[in-house]
């Protein structure tokens, strides 16, 4: 069953005031401490499928009552209010039913809630009696409920259907002229799939409601990129949902009038029967994700974009036993044909199909060429289901193919390996013991393989598939046979079809960050999201820092981010719909679910008991109904009790809807490659230097419009010149065919001329390292690294480090990009932001190059030519035409020039005001100091080398 919220009221005839339940044989009085020792699983009421007595009328009387009962029962109000704050959804379902008939009526509440949601509260008022709820340990709650029954007191059962607690149900008797009011609270976490979040409410009032109101508020500090409401309720309600959206908040209101609810103008039946779905996504500007801190907890949302897909090696393992005959096999074949067409050219794949025997389409992995895909589709189309089910051998065969390919060096070391198992039943041939199959797979599986399991229908042991996948870096999903199997299979594949990162690890190195949830993940898939949470001590920290390490298609990444303790205070305090407790709830949700998953995989009773105690205490502390707790609902005088119980099966995976399963690692376990060399300074976001830990005092700089400052180490002089060109022109700064290094800059113009002169600045810088086949393009908007066919994009909002072979690219948020090449060369680019509404100025870049860079003798360009210092003589210093700016004569490259003493700026240590640098200024765009004319350094493309070196003439 899909994740749904539903609310269903059934009005049933009955004259009884209380529930008629059989005696359970318990003693009338019991000590509270003894209740935990009861074997309540074997009590009759725990297993009964009871139905209450509906009526004591004879048939004739009953018929007369039934004729008018619908007109005498009023659904006065039906209200659903849901608020989503940073992916944490809190939903309240309220309704009020009035019994206007002269007879008592049984009213049933049946609410469908999302799988994995936690019920947190339930209350009701029945015939003027108020019922409230408390969360207790499961056995204790059942004992108290049983005790009430044993004493002959009213006791009802609030039930949920098996496995997923998808239904919350209760039934009460309403006296003539009286009413009943229900209120149910539950919470859940929104998981991102295929690029968006879905919040679903299943609306089924069952009759016309006098007041039908649904309000959904979405509050996202990151900002909402889009919000959309598909027409799941049908054309009947077109235009009824009202959507409003601001930068960080969205509201969906659904309030149809009674006439709008009618199926037809004269109908008494309601047309409200279906899903109200809200789709949205948030703004993502930082690769390192969004780190939010509040109320002693932090949450970290990670969903980077603009990354190249990692090549994948994928084995499809398909059940073709006799139980797959018919529509299931037909739809599986149709889905597989579409999935095969979606494989990328760099992917490798094969198909294993199994019944009592196991067959391979190919014994080895093959590239996903058009010819191979066509052949695989023909193979799948010829499959005829029959025989038994040998899951064990099929999985071991798939693992063998991947392991063999890896051992023979046939797999791209940067690729990811996946197995997708599709089955509809339990094993009937070969190894039948599920625990042994699980053990066999775990022992054979290399650590770089992820296993995803798709269970079709309800005959398969879904818990087994969940444990099997979770132990091997994957997840399981149930495919519902009574729905579009083909569509469900394709949608699941789409979720895992685009791996973007592998070996993703989150580190929070500060001492006062504790109780971090799973922080190490095997893969990150495009369109999904990884969420990590933990506790902080706000009185001992003023910010929380995160360091993320990961490997992309062609590079290793280190991403830093930082959140101040007060960042969300003002935002949450001024928005009445924001949940100020969302960080705590999300941390508790992740922790409890992850512990439940660990419990199902525990190998010793000691470990299992320890985890059980922790889950129980957390469930009680956070007031949620989990598989180890129950909700006791009772009247104020304690004479009437009901029980809300979660399903007994505790073998649940972590975090339903999450695509990435993870594990916990030590907070100090940052990979060695992610630790920068000492010259790059510490990793701390706050303490990281602009260029290096101690910026060298003498570098070659280009700043402003553009001012060149050339430092000559031998003569220990700074020589300056300006270049006056046009917007859009590209200047070559370094062109070194000997080392294969190129640096070019593209000019951007000011918004308008000042003093009849239009200033130009570097708006884009390009670096090319031929030996690495790597291009780096830096603009005022983003940083792009291209290696062959692979592209990595960072924004200036990121603090990150990219490691590719011998190349290190480090980005400091809104400040600098540092490029280091094998320790022989380094470059630093500074970002200058100006006021957006400034009438003249624009954002621009500055570049700094140490004169110690090891270029070849063939290096040239506006900067490159000075890497081999020319002989310069400055003499005859004298007063200049402008007071305070003396003049002098300079001999260089056979020319005698008049130069002026002045000041330029170095912004490395002070990005706003800069530091004054004295220099001798060469007029006329550096004429005489440069080889040739500055126009000789114009190139046609961003990555064009100079055509040929030339000398000063």
What are the tens digits of pLDDT across the range 615-669? 999 999 998 888 888 888 888 887 788 887 654 443 444 555 565 566 777 655 5
| pLDDT of the residue at 158 | 53
Q: What is the pLDDT of residues 282-307, one digit of tens each?
A: 998 788 889 999 999 999 999 998 88
Residue 671 has pLDDT above 70, yes or no: no
pLDDT at 250 over 90: yes
Which range (152-161, 557-566, 684-693, 818-827) has the least confidence? 684-693
Structural contact between residues 339 and 489, judged by C-beta atoms closer than 8 angstroms: yes
* Stretch 792-818: mean pLDDT: 89
Kindly state the average pLDDT of the residues 535-544: 90
Query: pLDDT band at 485, cuts 50/70/90?
Result: confident
846/406 Cα distance (integer angstroms): 46
Q: Answer whether 674's CB lies under 8 Å from 667's CB.
A: no
Distance, CA of 942 to chain centre: 35
- pLDDT score at 35: 36
Match domain 312-497 to its CATH number in 3.40.50.410, 1.20.120.1200, 3.40.190.10, 1.10.3720.10: 3.40.50.410
pLDDT one-digit tens code per residue, 148-175: 766 655 455 554 443 334 677 777 888 8
Q: How many CB atoms lie within 10 A of CB 737?
A: 16
Give per-residue pLDDT as tens, 202-223: 888 888 999 999 999 999 999 9
Say yes or no to pLDDT of 6 above 80.
Answer: no
Q: Quote the CA–CA distance of 925 and 8 in Å, as a whole number.
A: 80
- Output the DSSP codes for 595-650: HHHHHHH--SHHHHHHHHHHHHHHHHHTT---TTEEEEEEETTSSEEEEEE--S--
For position 657, what pLDDT does the model report?
A: 55
Confidence tier at 947 by pLDDT (50, 70, 90): confident
- Residue 238: strand, helix, or coil: coil
Residue 196: the pLDDT is 95
Average of pLDDT values for 337-362? 95
Residue 800: closest CA among 790, 815, 821 = 815
Per the confidence metrics, is the pTM higher than 0.85?
A: no
Where does the pLDDT of residue 675 fall: very low under 50, low under 70, confident under 90, or very high at 90 and above?
A: low
Portion of the chain with pLDDT greater than 70, in percent: 84
DSSP 155-181: EEEEB--TTT--EEEEEEEE-TT-EEE
- Among 313-322, 653-662, 833-842, 850-859, the minimum mean pLDDT is found in 653-662
Contacts 24+ apart (CB under 8 A), 514-520: 515/587, 515/591, 516/664, 516/667, 517/587, 517/590, 517/591, 517/594, 517/664, 518/590, 518/594, 518/654, 518/661, 518/662, 518/663, 518/664, 519/662, 519/664, 519/665, 519/667, 520/662, 520/663, 520/664, 520/665
Mean pLDDT of the chain: 83
Q: Residue 553: how many CA atoms within 13 Å on its side-chain side?
A: 24
**What average pLDDT does the segment 869-874 reach?**
92
pLDDT digits 0-9 by tens, 547-560: 999 999 888 899 88
What's the mean pLDDT in 469-487?
83
Task: Summarize the confidence of residues 794-821 as an average pLDDT.
Answer: 89
Average pLDDT over residues 32-42: 38
Give 396's contacts (C-beta < 8 A, 6+ positions apart).
440, 441, 444
* CATH among 1.10.10, 3.40.50, 2.60.40, 3.10.450 for 73-283: 2.60.40
For 258-365, list the strands marked E by DSSP.
Answer: 274-282, 290-294, 297-302, 312-319, 348-354, 358-360
Under 8 Å between Cβ of 851 and 711: yes
* Residue 483 pLDDT > 80: no
pLDDT above 90: percentage of residues in the chain = 52
pLDDT at 57: 36
Q: Are strands 915-922 and 717-722 parallel, antiparallel or unpaired?
A: parallel
* Comparison of pLDDT for 813 and 316, the residue scoring more: 316
Query: What is the C-alpha to C-alpha distance for residues 165 and 661, in angstroms, rounded to an integer?
Result: 22
Task: Assign 198 a pLDDT band (cuts: 50, 70, 90).
Answer: very high
pLDDT of residue 37: 40
Predicted confidence at residue 655, as pLDDT, reads: 53
The pLDDT value recorded for residue 232 is 74
CB 653 within 8 A of CB 470: yes
Q: Sorting pLDDT into bands at 50, 70 and 90, what band is 695?
A: low
Domain ranges of the chain: 73-283, 290-306+502-621, 312-497, 700-939
Please give the DSSP secondary-structure letter assigned to residue 448: T
d(CA 247, CA 282): 10
686: pLDDT strictly greater than 50: no
Averaged over 591-603, what is the pLDDT? 87
- pLDDT attached to residue 928: 93
Task: Give me the pLDDT at residue 865, please.
Answer: 92
Choose among 750, 760, 752: nearest CA to 707: 760
Q: What is the 3-state secondary structure (H, E, C) of 836-869?
A: CCCCCCCCEEEEEECCCCCCCCCCECCCHHHHCC
Strand partners, 168: 111
Taking only the tens place, the pLDDT of each residue in 824-841 is 899 999 999 998 888 888
- Which of 39-53, 114-128, 462-476, 899-913 comes out lowest in average pLDDT? 39-53
Phi, psi of 628 (to 5 degrees): -110, 0
- Alpha-carbon distance 930 to 863, whole Å? 9
470 closest CA partner among 317, 306, 594, 384? 594
First to last CA, the chain: 81
Question: How far is residue 673's CA from residue 683's CA, in Å, rounded to a whole number?
Answer: 13
Tell me the pLDDT band of 107, cut-offs 50, 70 and 90. Answer: confident
Which of the four pLDDT bands, split at 50, 70 and 90, describes residue 674? Answer: low
Over 90: is that where the pLDDT of 441 sits?
A: yes
Report d(CA 417, CA 634) in Å as an integer: 53
């Amino acid at each position: 069953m899909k994740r749904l919220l539903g609310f269903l009221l059934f009005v049933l005839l009955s004259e009884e005031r209380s529930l008629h339940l059989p005696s359970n044989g318990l003693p009338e009085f019991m000590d509270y401490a003894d209740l935990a020792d009861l074997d309540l699983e074997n009590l009759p009421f725990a297993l009964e499928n009871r139905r209450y007595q509906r009526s004591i009328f004879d048939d004739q009387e009953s018929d007369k009552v039934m004729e008018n009962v619908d007109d005498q029962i009023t659904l006065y109000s039906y209200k659903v209010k849901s608020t989503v704050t940073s992916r944490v959804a809190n939903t309240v379902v309220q309704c009020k039913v009035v019994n206007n008939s002269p007879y008592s009526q049984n009213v049933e509440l049946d609410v469908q809630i999302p799988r994995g949601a936690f019920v947190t509260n339930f209350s009701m008022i029945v015939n003027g009696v108020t019922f409230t709820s408390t969360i207790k340990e499961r056995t204790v709650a059942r004992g108290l409920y049983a005790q009430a029954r044993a004493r002959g007191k009213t006791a009802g059962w609030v039930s949920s259907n098996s496995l997923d607690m998808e239904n919350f149900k209760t039934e009460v008797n309403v006296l003539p002229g009286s009413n009943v009011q229900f209120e149910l609270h539950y919470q859940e976490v929104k998981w991102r799939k295929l690029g968006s979040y879905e919040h679903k409410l299943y609306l089924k009032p069952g009759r016309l409601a006098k007041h039908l109101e649904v309000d959904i508020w979405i509050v996202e500090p990151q900002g909402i990129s889009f919000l959309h409401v598909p027409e799941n309720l049908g054309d009947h309600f077109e235009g009824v949902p009202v959507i409003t959206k601001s930068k960080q908040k969205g509201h969906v209101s659904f309030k149809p009038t009674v006439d709008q609810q009618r199926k037809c103008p004269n109908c008494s039946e309601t047309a409200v029967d279906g899903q109200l779905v809200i789709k949205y996504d948030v703004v993502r500007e930082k690769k390192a994700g969004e780190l939010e801190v509040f109320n002693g907890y932090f949450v970290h949302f990670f969903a980077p974009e603009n990354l190249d897909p990692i090549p994948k090696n994928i084995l499809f393992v398909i059940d073709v036993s006799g139980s797959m005959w018919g529509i299931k096999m037909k739809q599986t074949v149709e889905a597989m044909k579409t999935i095969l067409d979606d494989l990328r050219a760099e992917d490798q794949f094969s198909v294993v199909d199994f019944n009592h025997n196991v067959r391979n389409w190919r014994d080895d992995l093959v590239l996903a060429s058009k010819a191979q895909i066509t052949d695989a589709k023909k193979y799948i189309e010829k499959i005829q289901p029959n025989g038994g089910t040998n899951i064990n051998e099929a999985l071991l065969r798939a693992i063998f193919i991947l392991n063999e390919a890896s051992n023979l060096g046939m797999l791209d070391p940067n690729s990811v390996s996946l197995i997708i198992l599709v089955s509809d039943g339990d094993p009937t041939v070969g190894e039948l013991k599920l625990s042994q199959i699980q053990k066999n797979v775990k022992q054979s599986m290399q650590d770089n393989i992820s296993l995803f399991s798709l269970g079709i229908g309800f005959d398969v042991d879904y818990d087994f598939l969940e444990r099997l996948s979770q132990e091997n870096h994957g997840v399981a999903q149930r495919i519902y046979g009574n729905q579009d199997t083909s569509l469900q299979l394709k949608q699941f594949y789409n979720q895992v079809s685009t791996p973007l990162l592998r070996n993703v690890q989150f580190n929070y190195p500060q001492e006062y960050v504790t109780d971090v949830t799973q922080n190490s993940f095997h893969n990150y898939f495009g369109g999904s999201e990884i969420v990590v949470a933990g506790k902080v001590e706000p009185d001992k920290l003023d910010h929380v820092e995160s360091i993320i390490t990961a490997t992309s298609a062609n590079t290793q990444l280190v991403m830093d981010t930082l959140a101040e303790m007060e960042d969300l205070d003002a935002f949450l305090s001024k928005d009445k719909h924001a949940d100020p407790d969302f960080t705590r709830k999300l941390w508790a949700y992740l922790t409890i679910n992850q512990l439940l998953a660990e419990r199902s995989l525990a190998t010793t009773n000691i470990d299992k008991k320890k985890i059980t105690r922790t889950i129980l205490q957390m469930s009680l502390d956070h007031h949620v109904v989990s598989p180890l707790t129950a909700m006791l609902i009772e009247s104020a005088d304690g004479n009437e009790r009901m029980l809300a119980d979660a399903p007994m099966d505790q073998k649940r995976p972590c975090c339903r809807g999450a695509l990435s399963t993870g594990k916990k690692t030590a907070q100090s376990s940052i990979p060695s490659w992610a630790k920068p060399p000492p010259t790059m300074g510490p990793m701390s976001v706050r303490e990281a230097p602009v260029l290096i830990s101690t910026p060298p005092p003498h570098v070659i700089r280009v700043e402003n419009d553009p001012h060149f400052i050339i430092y000559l180490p031998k003569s220990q002089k700074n020589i300056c010149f300006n270049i006056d060109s046009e917007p859009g022109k590209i200047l070559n700064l370094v062109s070194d065919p000997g080392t294969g290094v190129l640096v070019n800059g593209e000019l951007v113009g000011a918004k308008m001329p000042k003093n009849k002169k239009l200033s130009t600045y570097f708006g884009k810088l390009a670096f090319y390292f031929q030996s690495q086949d790597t291009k780096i393009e830096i603009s005022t908007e983003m940083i792009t690294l291209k290696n062959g066919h692979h592209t990595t994009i960072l924004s200036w909002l990121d603090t990150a480090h990219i490691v590719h072979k011998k190349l290190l690219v480090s980005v400091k948020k809104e400040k600098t990009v540092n490029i280091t090449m094998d320790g022989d060369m380094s470059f630093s680019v500074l970002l200058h932001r100006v006021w957006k509404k400034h009438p003249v100025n624009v954002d621009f870049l500055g570049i700094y190059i140490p004169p110690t860079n090891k270029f070849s003798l063939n290096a040239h360009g506006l900067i490159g030519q000075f890497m081999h210092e020319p002989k310069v003589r400055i003499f005859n210093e004298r007063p200049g035409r402008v007071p305070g700016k003396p003049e002098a004569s300079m001999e260089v490259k056979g020319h005698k020039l008049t130069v002026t003493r002045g000041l330029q700026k170095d912004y490395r240590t002070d990005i706003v005001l800069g530091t004054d640098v004295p220099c001798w200024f060469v007029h006329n765009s550096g004429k005489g100091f440069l080889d040739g004319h500055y126009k000789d350094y114009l190139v046609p493309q961003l990555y064009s080398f100079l055509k040929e070196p030339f000398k000063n003439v």
